[in-house]
Structure 1
Amino acid sequence: MFTRTELLNRRHLLATLCAAAGAVSTPSIAQNRARRARSEPAPETYYAERADAMRFADDMAARRGLPADWVRGMIGQAVFLPNVPRLMLPPPRGTAKNWRVYRSRFIDPVRIRAGVRFWERNRATLARAESQFGVPPEIVVGIVGVETIYGQVMGNFRVIDALATLTFDFPPQHPRAQARQAFFQDELEQFLSLAQRTGMDPLSPLGSYAGAMGMPQFMPSSWVRYAIDYDGDGRIDLWNSETDVIGSVANYFVGHGWQPGLRTHYPVRLAPEAQMDTLLAPDILPSFSADSFAAKGALAMDGGLSHPGKFALIELQNGDPARPGNEPEYVAGTENFYVITRYNWSSYYAMSVIDLGQEVMLAMRG
């Protein structure tokens, strides 16, 4: 175990050595310290003080072929963030979803204007990505806008602290606690392996409370699998290189099955006798052909009858349905709609991405 003074000395030395390696661009240590001081209270618990964390570090080092002292040093300098486990808990049961309220968080004049500027700066890169990957510019623009307002809000949590907190202190009352904790254990391993391989300082990057990084908010595993050096400068920089961001987001979608030229959704008309329980049972997973969709009382409009793939009936609730004007809205989601939900498992999220991209595109044309 280390004393607090020894931890701080080791942290300073390791940060200096890692920064000198510098193969991956990250925010400066000084900037991170200042921003973290504004967003987080003084840490109380270092994971070096936790026997379970040190055992994990030793096991990880053995599995990944990494220097054990380095892994122990990095995990040992992570601190417990007491607010993060609470942020992971789902809303209380009975909380009504509201699509109009959710949409208003992302579709607003500030974000649209920022999206126009992003599109104008990167017109050629967005066209190149569409040609190479088949992902339309408005989808990429929608993702980056919803995630971080085009880099304006990328998170103030130190990534290693967030990932360590969710690895060792995931809230046990979460309905999927075991699976989610295992997910974050893997993300912590991916993050440290990435840092060791590229020379990135693991103590420097800031991100979301879940450990997502950069303008597109990639988790470490997504960074490893899908982030690409799209500007050709020899490094991947999802914090500062909009070109790398665009190429990486498009590559992410292709990796999850994006089909070029396929629409994301169609308007739908529901018959009074529509078999709603059957239609909604698969949730966002496309499960019905156009014919079987129609046979169950859901008619995909605006060319949807000739859609060659599968549909999912997407329900967007608007609060308490018993109140007048709060009726749910519905669309017929395609396989490409489902691909967008691989970024965030939510039909509300996917529709916000689509709508923001469309609004920015309309503003560009106007």
Structure 2
Amino acid sequence: MSKFLILSSALLGTVLWLAAPAHAESQSIEVLKKQFVRTTSTTVDPEKIKDALEKAQYSQAIIDSISKPWEAKPWHQYHPIFLTDKRLAAGLEFWDTHHQAITNASKQYNVDPEIIVAIIGIETFYGQYKGKHKVLDALYTLGFYYPPRAKFFRSELAEFLKLVDEEQLNMEELKGSYAGAMGYGQFISSSYRHYAVDFDGDGKRDILNSPVDAIGSVANYFHRHGWKMGEAVALPLEQIGSTPEKPKTKVWSGERLHYRVSDILSPQLSLAKAKDIDINQKGMLIALEQKHKTDYWLGLKNFYVITRYNHSPLYAMAALQFSQQLKRAYHAQ
């Protein structure tokens, strides 16, 4: 299913939900809340759960934002948002400032330093834009008022309540993205609980305020998802012939890797630059929509790892290209 169809289905689900009678909607939400309290109370004090639900507020701005994600844009409109001189300069400054932490994280977790720096830059412009929405309100709104992904966001709301308890956080003060992601690296609650690390050694896993903890946590996230330092991430492909044919494999749309490189390459679609690679390794076909044509890339395991952070291939490609810019500029200094 294409990205467009996924978004269309999501919007259709929202329309159908909003079209339902108000009293029916209210009743079903109350049922969901009771179920949420019952299932979450096995790990969180039920009184704390009820208190959170009472304090949480619906936000139409959250619904509006998730209905129009940046990743719905074509590549030629998407990548200029992230690949800017201003972000590059900020990235180099961040790398210089936190050189030792980045070096240590790279060595400890076997993750290339430039991808760590790139992710934090794309996510929050190095901590300058961590999000303006209350995390509690975002997860509450999407968990109970956004049917296409409500189950997922209710799960994240439960994770958030556990996180607040574990890290002694103030749930009413925490702010993040419209999807409830937090801190320098924009971790959702489950990722915070499972992948955040105390990298500055102060006894707290604080990715909200500590850039050093964020550096270690991003590196740990990539390590735990299988990143291999120094290995290729994605390679540009070239269509051969005056009338390019449609690729023989489907463009990747979020599924687990099942094609091998040998399935993707063909006499009509080959590597733009000759390179020795294992054609038996798994890969994906990436399509980037330019103004007047489509560019194709061969994505490898490391590219797939980036999509575990954000499932959009556009995001992963922006992160890759920004990391390459950072690496060139940093070593040219």
Q: TM-score range by the shorter chain?
A: 0.7 to 0.9
Q: Tell me the residue number matched to 1:270.
A: 239
| Structure 1 counterpart of 2:38, from 56, 59, 70 | 59
Which residues in structure 2 correspond to 1:147-162 (within 5 Å)?
147-162=123-138
Q: Tell me the residue number matched to 1:27.
A: none
Q: Tell me the residue number matched to 1:339.
A: 305
Deviation of the 1:62 alpha carbon = 2.7
Kindly indicate whether the alpha-carbon contact (under 8 Å) linking 1:97 and 1:317 is maintained by their aligned counterparts in 2.
no
Q: 1 CA distance for matches of 2:76 and 2:30? A: 47
Q: Tell me the residue number matched to 1:69.
A: 47
Deviation of the 1:204 alpha carbon = 1.3
| C-alpha RMSD of the superposition | 2.4
Deviation of the 1:71 alpha carbon = 1.5
Question: Deviations for 1:293-312, whole angstroms, at most 9, x for unmatched residues?
Answer: 33363222445442362221
SS in structure 2 of the partner of residue 356 of structure 1: helix
Q: 1 CA distance for matches of 2:66 and 2:108? A: 36
- Specify the structure having the higher radius of gyration (Cα): 1
Kindly indicate whether the alpha-carbon contact (under 8 Å) linking 2:247 and 2:269 is maintained by their aligned counterparts in 1.
no
Question: Deviations for 1:73-104, whole angstroms, at most 9, x for unmatched residues?
Answer: 1221011112211222257xxx9843222111
SS in structure 1 of the partner of residue 215 of structure 2: helix
Q: 2 CA distance for matches of 1:123 and 1:281? A: 38
TM (norm. structure 2) is: 0.83
Q: 1 CA distance for matches of 2:124 and 2:317? A: 16
Q: Tell me the residue number matched to 1:192.
A: 161
Pick closer, same or farther for the CA change 1:247–1:116 going to 2, 3 Å: same
Deviation of the 1:60 alpha carbon = 3.8
Deviation of the 1:189 alpha carbon = 0.0
Residue identity in the other structure for 2:55: Q
| Structure 2 counterpart of 1:313, from 277, 285, 291 | 285
Unpaired segments ≥5 residues, structure 1: 1-46, 320-325
Kindly indicate whether the alpha-carbon contact (under 8 Å) linking 1:138 and 1:354 is maintained by their aligned counterparts in 2.
no
Pick closer, same or farther for the CA change 1:161–1:124 going to 2, 3 Å: same
Question: Deviations for 1:285-344, whole angstroms, at most 9, x for unmatched residues?
Answer: 54443433333632224454423622212110024xxxxxx2111211111011101111
SS in structure 2 of the partner of residue 330 of structure 1: strand
| Structure 2 counterpart of 1:202, from 148, 171, 195 | 171
SS in structure 1 of the partner of residue 248 of structure 2: helix
Q: Tell me the residue number matched to 2:200.
A: 231
Question: Deviations for 1:85-140, whole angstroms, at most 9, x for unmatched residues?
Answer: 1222257xxx9843222111011121111101110011111111111111111111
Residue identity in the other structure for 1:279: T
Kindly indicate whether the alpha-carbon contact (under 8 Å) linking 2:233 and 2:302 is maintained by their aligned counterparts in 1.
yes
Kindly indicate whether the alpha-carbon contact (under 8 Å) linking 1:274 and 1:296 is maintained by their aligned counterparts in 2.
no
SS in structure 1 of the partner of residue 237 of structure 2: strand
Pick closer, same or farther for the CA change 1:131–1:85 going to 2, 3 Å: same
Residue identity in the other structure for 2:262: D
Kindly indicate whether the alpha-carbon contact (under 8 Å) linking 2:36 and 2:154 is maintained by their aligned counterparts in 1.
no
Kindly indicate whether the alpha-carbon contact (under 8 Å) linking 1:148 and 1:216 is maintained by their aligned counterparts in 2.
yes
Q: Tell me the residue number matched to 1:353.
A: 319
Pick closer, same or farther for the CA change 1:54–1:312 going to 2, 3 Å: closer
SS in structure 1 of the partner of residue 62 of structure 2: helix
Kindly indicate whether the alpha-carbon contact (under 8 Å) linking 1:60 and 1:189 is maintained by their aligned counterparts in 2.
no
| Greater CA drift, 129-138 or 216-225 | 129-138
Pick closer, same or farther for the CA change 1:236–1:301 going to 2, 3 Å: same
TM (norm. structure 1) is: 0.76
SS in structure 2 of the partner of residue 351 of structure 1: helix
Q: Tell me the residue number matched to 1:18.
A: none
Q: Tell me the residue number matched to 2:12.
A: none
SS in structure 1 of the partner of residue 86 of structure 2: helix
Residue identity in the other structure for 2:304: Y
| Structure 2 counterpart of 1:330, from 296, 312, 324 | 296
Q: Tell me the residue number matched to 1:10.
A: none
Calculate percent identity across the aligned residue pairs: 33
Kindly indicate whether the alpha-carbon contact (under 8 Å) linking 1:266 and 1:304 is maintained by their aligned counterparts in 2.
no
Q: Tell me the residue number matched to 1:99.
A: 75
Kindly indicate whether the alpha-carbon contact (under 8 Å) linking 2:118 and 2:323 is maintained by their aligned counterparts in 1.
yes
Deviation of the 1:262 alpha carbon = 1.5
Which residues in structure 2 correspond to 1:159-308 (within 5 Å)?
159-170=135-146, 172=147, 177=148, 180-272=149-241, 276-283=246-253, 286-295=257-266, 297-307=268-278
Pick closer, same or farther for the CA change 1:332–1:219 going to 2, 3 Å: same
Residue identity in the other structure for 2:318: S
Residue identity in the other structure for 1:135: V
Deviation of the 1:196 alpha carbon = 1.4
| Structure 2 counterpart of 1:127, from 99, 103, 109 | 103
Residue identity in the other structure for 1:351: M
Query: How many residues are aligned here?
Result: 301
